[in-house]
Structure 1
Amino acid sequence: MKISIKKVPALYDLIYGAFALVMLIVAIVTTLPNGFSFTSVGATLMTWANHLWWLTVPGIIFHLLSYFVSQHSRLLTVGNIIGLCAFIAFILIPNYSVFALIGLVVAMLLILRGANRSHRMREESEVS
């Protein structure tokens, strides 16, 4: 699979999603000695978001660039919008990062499916 501006956001979604999952697990483990509560996990994530917000900026930029390049494909457009919303959610409401992670997975799947469909359509038009 060739790397293109359409598929780079999916790669960054995968990398950042793995990082966010590890961050969520560490936040849960960190709060376990005091007793597990969603409030304390959310507070921990909010504290960390002040220091790690800049990691979401490349994801926002990648999704914006891919969005402008892939206006012709509905799957790519929807995937980029969902990915953009997920990265903004990581900045604004990090205590709901589980939902943002789900958004990243959905965005990644839509982008990859849309890129493959776009590639197949281009090959079919070249053959005809």
Structure 2
Amino acid sequence: MKISIKKVPALYDLLYGAFALVMLVAAIMATLPNGFSLTGVGSTLMQWANHLWWLTLPGIVLHLLSYFASQNQRLLLIGNLIGLCAFIAFILIPNYSVFAVIGLAVAMFLILSGAKRSRRVHNNSEVS
């Protein structure tokens, strides 16, 4: 697969999703000595979000660029909107990061499926 502006957000989604999962596990491990609680994990994630919110900005910019570059491809548009919402959720409500990671996975799947489909349609139109 060639790298293009339409598919780069999926790569960043993969990298940031892995980082978010590691951050979630670290937050769980940080709350274990005091006794596990979801509120403790959520407050730990909220404290860390103050220092890490700027890591979501490249994802927002990449999804916006990809969105505007793929105006005629429905799967890419939907995938970019879901990815954009997931990155905004990481900033605004980091204690629900599990759902934002699921959103990133869905966005990644839609973007890659849409890019593969548009390439196949483009190749078929060249042959005709």
Q: 1:96: Cα distance to partner?
A: 0.2
Runs of 4+ in 1 over 6 A off after TM superposition: none
Q: Secondary structure at the match of 2:114?
A: helix
> 2: CA distance between counterparts of 1:106 and 1:26?
24
Listed as ranges, the gaps of 5+ residues in structure 2 are none
* 2:7 counterpart residue number: 7
> 2: CA distance between counterparts of 1:61 and 1:117?
24
* 1:111 counterpart residue number: 111
* 2:46 counterpart residue number: 46
> 2: CA distance between counterparts of 1:95 and 1:71?
33
Under a length normalisation based on structure 1, what TM-score does the superposition of the two structures give? 0.99
> 1: CA distance between counterparts of 2:76 and 2:38?
34
Output the aligned Cα RMSD.
0.3
Q: Secondary structure at the match of 1:50?
A: helix
Q: 1:26: Cα distance to partner?
A: 0.3
Listed as ranges, the gaps of 5+ residues in structure 1 are none
Q: Does 1:22 align with 2:32?
A: no
Q: 1:24: Cα distance to partner?
A: 0.2
Alignment of 1:22-101 (within 5 A): 22-101=22-101
Query: Which string of whole-angstrom CA distances, capped at 9 and with x for unpartnered residues, describes residues 47-83 of structure 1?
Result: 0000000000000000000000001111000000000
Residue type at the aligned position of 1:44? T
> 1: CA distance between counterparts of 2:102 and 2:120?
27
* 1:126 counterpart residue number: 126
Identity of aligned residues (%): 78
